[in-house]
Chains A and B, each alone.
Chain A
Amino acid sequence: MSAKTADKIATGIIIAITALIALALIGLLGYILYRGLGHISWHFLTSPPEAIRKGGGIGPQLFNSLFLLVLTMIITVPLGIGAGIYMSEYAKAGKITSAIRLVVEVLSSFPSIIVGLFGLLVIVNKFNLGFSLLSGALALTIFNLPLMVRITEQGLRSVPVQQKEASLALGISKWKTIRSVQLPIALPVVLSGSILAAGRIFGEAAALLFTAGMSSPRLDFSDWNPLHSASPLNPMRPAETLAVHIWKVNSEGLAPDATQIAAGASAVLIITVLLFNLGARALGRYMHNKFTASK
């Protein structure tokens, strides 16, 4: 077999494999959207679910998913960025740093059901936070925090060392260099990484089954006082999220349109995650252009 023929065959196989993967993904997405798009409506997106009658919606669950995401990000972003800066700029290479990095990586790849069970035993029971948004947020922190640390560290390491040197050589302190020279350049990477992490949190189910709970109380959307029990902003209330709801409806749904609700909710979830992904790429590209060409 000549080298040219071997090259053509190899190229052909690679293209075929890629096409197969692309088709599988498009097929999967397409099927979910096909089954569920028809059921999505304003009513579906805003009304509460019905236990036994048809016509229920996913309003509170959608809100819970979004609010839980915000809560988790509030906890993990500052801590993650801080730790990421430490790992990238301050930690000296050595056994302790390698150990920290190992722990961080193991935590971020923990099976989510284990995180959920841990959350149930420690956060919900021992700390007595009950099934609540806060418990859910803390459980999600277990695997989002290491992710944020890694994203920040990688973002900072991607900044050319010449930038750091240029700043230090002007007699500028290390912290000011990190804050005003390195972080702005790392920002597009950190931001798009965070949005991808957010997409993962948004679709999380196993970790939330026993922490945020499988029910959502009657919510009064006109009451925005976080201290009131019927307020949607109250972090101590149980909060079934969209992904958990899909699971529940599919396994114990009693309403006659349970299948359609699950299909519709799945479509909404997939579309939101897709939007997160596309948004992350677009934002990353926009900021990269802004920082390297015009600003």
Chain B
Amino acid sequence: MIDIALSAKQLNVHYGEKHAVHDVSLDFAEKEVTALIGPSGCGKSTFLRSLNRMNDLIPSCRVTGEIWIKDRNINGNNTDVVALRKKIGMVWQRPNPFHKSIYENIAFGPRYHGIRNKKQLDEIVEQSLRKAAIWEETKDRLNKSALALSGGQQQRLCIARTIAVKPDVILMDEPASALDPISTSKIEELISELKQDYSIVIVTHNMHQAARVSDKTAFFLNGHVVEYDKTETIFTNPAHQRTNDYITGRFG
């Protein structure tokens, strides 16, 4: 029996008048990578942002429906959103490291959550940077600004920063779109390793990437989930015509 890390039930998202996500119900299994694919504007990023309540920051946005973690619906008014976001981390398309040193970028989260001991923090920083495959490149310049790193390095730093607070789920919104091919393949390798410890949901407009890294794939179109199945099935033998049209490049 596979454990479910996160699941959405009848999720709807409205931006003012616009109904961006329609009745989406998806289960994300533990320690698996799920890809959300679909053409631009189909609602996959909006859906992703609802999962860790980041859409709360947009005043005109209304999210209705349920989001379950273990046995709690976190899409309610009395959810501790701050505590929730410790459990669900996020990585964006454009790397956004803090304007601080590399060390501080990683230590900032754990220190806020209560770890004051310098040795413990040092260990967390090293472990996180190692896990994100960027320890060798940064170990000699931990006190230098994170902004001096290249784009690909900054993105791996952002991933390291996310795993430093020990989340259960990591949400990735097109994490490699803004990177060169070599950095992209490094990030994809990283995702394959990270799934041993974390459940990952990744939005990508690159279908080959989805085929490479994910275990399950959901195809979004106009705010609806058209099909959700094992990645292999979606890409070799999809059940719906529209899915087939998308993956063969007929549109999108």
Contact A170 B92, CB 8 Å, known A165-B57, A292-B99, A292-B147: no
Q: Please tell me if the beta carbons of A169 and B52 are within 8 angstroms of each other in the complex.
A: yes
Q: Please tell me if the beta carbons of B82 and A295 are within 8 angstroms of each other in the complex.
A: no
Q: When the two chains form the complex, which single residue of A93, A164, A172, A291 contacts B99, counting CB atoms closer than 8 Å? A: A291
Of the candidate stretches A79-87, A173-181, A201-209, the one touching chain B is A173-181
Q: When the two chains form the complex, which single residue of A93, A180, A293 contacts B108, counting CB atoms closer than 8 Å? A: A180
Q: B89 within 8 Å of A by Cβ?
A: yes
Q: Please tell me if the beta carbons of A165 and B108 are within 8 angstroms of each other in the complex.
A: no
Q: Please tell me if the beta carbons of A293 and B147 are within 8 angstroms of each other in the complex.
A: yes
Q: A162 within 8 Å of B by Cβ?
A: yes
A97→B159 CA distance, assembly (Å): 38
| Interface magnitude class on chain A | 20 to 34
B-chain residues with CB within 8 Å of residue A295 when the two chains form the complex = 99-101, 145
A-chain residues with CB within 8 Å of residue B97 when the two chains form the complex = 166
Which of A160, A166, A172 gathers the greatest number of chain B CB atoms within 10 Å? Answer: A166
Q: When the two chains form the complex, which single residue of B87, B98, B113 contacts A167, counting CB atoms closer than 8 Å? A: B98
Q: Please tell me if the beta carbons of B99 and A162 are within 8 angstroms of each other in the complex.
A: no
A-B Cβ contacts below 8 A, count:
78
Q: Please tell me if the beta carbons of B145 and A181 are within 8 angstroms of each other in the complex.
A: no
A248→B109 CA distance, assembly (Å): 59
A163→B85 CA distance, assembly (Å): 15
A292→B54 CA distance, assembly (Å): 26
Name the distance in Å between A287's Cβ and chain B's nearest Cβ: 11
Kindly identify, within residues 141 to 196 of chain A, every residue whose CB is under 8 Å from any CB belonging to chain B: 160, 162-174, 176, 180-181, 184-185
Q: Please tell me if the beta carbons of A162 and B82 are within 8 angstroms of each other in the complex.
A: no
Chain A residue with the shortest CB-CB distance to B92: A162
A-chain residues with CB within 8 Å of residue B218 when the two chains form the complex = none
A46→B241 CA distance, assembly (Å): 89
Q: B112 within 8 Å of A by Cβ?
A: yes
A185→B98 CA distance, assembly (Å): 9
A-chain residues with CB within 8 Å of residue B31 when the two chains form the complex = none
Contact A171 B82, CB 8 Å, known A162-B96, A185-B99: yes
A-chain residues with CB within 8 Å of residue B216 when the two chains form the complex = none
Chain A residue with the shortest CB-CB distance to B96: A162
Q: Please tell me if the beta carbons of A171 and B99 are within 8 angstroms of each other in the complex.
A: no
A-chain residues with CB within 8 Å of residue B144 when the two chains form the complex = 294
Q: B221 within 8 Å of A by Cβ?
A: no
B-chain residues with CB within 8 Å of residue A185 when the two chains form the complex = 99
Q: B59 within 8 Å of A by Cβ?
A: yes
Name the distance in Å between B199's Cβ and chain A's nearest Cβ: 16
Name the distance in Å between B32's Cβ and chain A's nearest Cβ: 21
Name the distance in Å between A174's Cβ and chain B's nearest Cβ: 8
Q: Please tell me if the beta carbons of B89 and A170 are within 8 angstroms of each other in the complex.
A: yes
Q: A53 within 8 Å of B by Cβ?
A: no
Name the distance in Å between A141's Cβ and chain B's nearest Cβ: 32
A167→B92 CA distance, assembly (Å): 12
Contact A170 B59, CB 8 Å, known A163-B98, A293-B147: no
Q: A92 within 8 Å of B by Cβ?
A: yes
Kindly identify, within residues 69 to 98 of chain B, every residue whose CB is under 8 Å from any CB belonging to chain A: 82-87, 89-90, 92, 94, 96-98
A-chain residues with CB within 8 Å of residue B165 when the two chains form the complex = 170-171
Q: Please tell me if the beta carbons of A169 and B99 are within 8 angstroms of each other in the complex.
A: no
B-chain residues with CB within 8 Å of residue A173 when the two chains form the complex = 82, 112
A-chain residues with CB within 8 Å of residue B162 when the two chains form the complex = 169-170
Q: Please tell me if the beta carbons of B92 and A184 are within 8 angstroms of each other in the complex.
A: no
Q: Please tell me if the beta carbons of A166 and B96 are within 8 angstroms of each other in the complex.
A: yes
Contact A160 B59, CB 8 Å, known A169-B89, A171-B165, A176-B112: no
Name the distance in Å between B120's Cβ and chain A's nearest Cβ: 17
B-chain residues with CB within 8 Å of residue A163 when the two chains form the complex = 96, 98-99
Q: B148 within 8 Å of A by Cβ?
A: yes
A172→B89 CA distance, assembly (Å): 11
A-chain residues with CB within 8 Å of residue B109 when the two chains form the complex = 170-172
Name the distance in Å between A179's Cβ and chain B's nearest Cβ: 11
Which of A166, A168, A170, A295 gathers the greatest number of chain B CB atoms within 10 Å? Answer: A170
Q: Please tell me if the beta carbons of B89 and A293 are within 8 angstroms of each other in the complex.
A: no
Q: B158 within 8 Å of A by Cβ?
A: yes
Name the distance in Å between B209's Cβ and chain A's nearest Cβ: 22
A-chain residues with CB within 8 Å of residue B92 when the two chains form the complex = 162, 165-166
Q: Please tell me if the beta carbons of A165 and B59 are within 8 angstroms of each other in the complex.
A: no
Can you sample 14 A-B contacts with CB below 8 Å?
A: A162-B92, A164-B57, A165-B96, A166-B97, A168-B57, A169-B85, A171-B82, A171-B109, A171-B165, A172-B82, A173-B112, A292-B99, A293-B147, A295-B145
3 nearest interchain CB pairs? A171-B86, A162-B96, A169-B90
| A-B contacts besides A167-B98, A169-B89, A295-B145, 13 pairs, CB < 8 Å | A163-B99, A165-B57, A166-B92, A166-B96, A168-B54, A170-B162, A171-B83, A171-B86, A171-B109, A172-B82, A173-B82, A176-B112, A295-B99
Which residues of A approach B to under 8 Å, CB–CB? Answer: 92-93, 160, 162-174, 176, 180-181, 184-185, 291-295
